[in-house]
Amino acid sequence: MKRFDTQTLESDLHRLDLRFAPLRLQQPRMVERLARSIEQDGQLVPVVAVAEPDRWVLIDGYLRIEALRRLARDTAWVELWDCPLDQALLIVLVRVQGRTWEAIEEGAVIRELMTRFELSQRAVARQTGRDVSWVNRRLSLVQELPEALFVAICQGELSTWAATRVLAPLARANSDHAQTLLTALQRDPLSTRELHTWYQHYQKANHLKRERMLAQPRLFCQALQAQTRDQAASALRAGPEGAWLAELKRLTQRLRGLHKQLPLVFAGLEAGPLQQAWVEMKTLFQDLDATLTRTPHHDSPGDSRSDSGPESQGHPGPQDRPTAEGLA
């Protein structure tokens, strides 16, 4: 890049052209911290601008300008660069004076360089000291987002995670559903955890259920949370015995399914691994049955004797047999 002159001046805020504000994310908390810092210590870091006839185009420092406006300040310290706009944008991608840029902001600046200034990805990579894959990854973050989603991110209505992980894939599959969800989130935002859970259920739902989920995402999450609480309370009431019984019922259903598949699965010639796996499973069942038989206060199935009934002659029952410790 060509060398250029710089100078630091105090400028009226109305003289600054905030042309690239739509490319930067709004961060109210950061603005509040900057406002407190400026109020206490003054503006320590000047904003960056490029001179054009009758105006200075702000390149970096949009949050600082917002903080100064919040403090009702009329002027700002500006580091004025005597260089073309595209060169200034390339420089700020490498040298950031304030906060670290978000990846999506870098992608927006790269898109601006390619569309307005007709630079190629290779040229951007060469002049910023990055590789082409880095430029392509940043650019893809912006290109894959519908404009409405990008605007919502920049205005702070939607997180970058929600846009790239949920709404962008949803927009590629069904743009109407993505727009409906965006409108609902703007009206009643969900946390990252809630949105992640909502999207997991959406992927598994049929069309009718998806329509209901889109109509009221908050209500769906609340119903899901209530169901989870009810299940936790039920499990607490049932205790470990209830959990054991529920798991036994699930295993019974799975075994019935295996029984139905038996003729089809064992019709092939390679049944050796299947038989070996079944032998291992059967051994576990036999061990479990033996342990259950030795468990105190256990009546084996089919034993109709009552505890107070007379003892039958012959072999002693499982409860009367000496244990391994007793034999030892």
- pLDDT by position in tens, the chain (length 328): 678 889 999 999 999 999 999 998 988 899 999 999 999 999 999 999 999 888 899 999 999 999 999 999 999 999 999 999 999 999 988 875 555 678 888 999 999 999 999 999 999 999 988 999 999 999 988 887 888 888 998 888 888 889 888 998 998 899 899 999 999 999 999 999 999 999 999 999 999 999 999 999 999 999 999 999 998 888 888 899 888 888 888 888 888 888 888 888 777 656 678 888 888 888 888 888 888 888 776 554 444 444 444 444 444 444 444 443 332 2
Structure tokens at 181: 């969800």
Task: Please state the pTM of the whole predicted model.
Answer: 0.60
Report helix angle 132-143 to 103-115, nearest 10. 90
* Distant-in-sequence, close-in-space partners of 87: CB < 8 Å, separation ≥ 6: 1, 2, 4
- pLDDT attached to residue 268: 65
CA distance 174 to 75: 47
Range 95-102 contact pairs with CB under 8 angstroms and sequence separation of 24 or more? 96/60, 97/45, 97/46, 97/48, 97/60, 97/61, 98/45, 98/60, 98/61, 98/63, 98/64, 99/30, 99/63, 102/25, 102/160
State residue 234's pLDDT score: 86
Place of tokens 């009718």: 208
pLDDT, residue 327, reads 27
Distance of alpha carbon 297 from alpha carbon 300, whole angstroms: 10
User: What single letter denotes the amino acid at residue 181?
Assistant: L
321 to each of 3, 294, 305, 313, how far by Cα in Å?
96, 9, 17, 14
Measure the CA–CA gap between 297 and 285, rounded to whole angstroms.
20
pLDDT, residue 97, reads 53
Phi, psi (5° rounding) for residue 272?
-60, -55
User: Smallest Cα–Cα separation from 199: which of 161, 152, 166?
Assistant: 166
pLDDT value for 231? 86
- pLDDT given for residue 308 in this prediction: 41
Residue 15 neighbours by CB under 8 Å, 6+ apart: 55, 56
pLDDT computed for residue 98 by the predictor? 52
CB 61 within 8 A of CB 47: yes
DSSP assignment letter at 15: G
DSSP 49-84: EEEETTEEEEEE-HHHHHHHHHTT--EEEEEEE-S-
Neighbours of 35 (CB within 10 A): 19
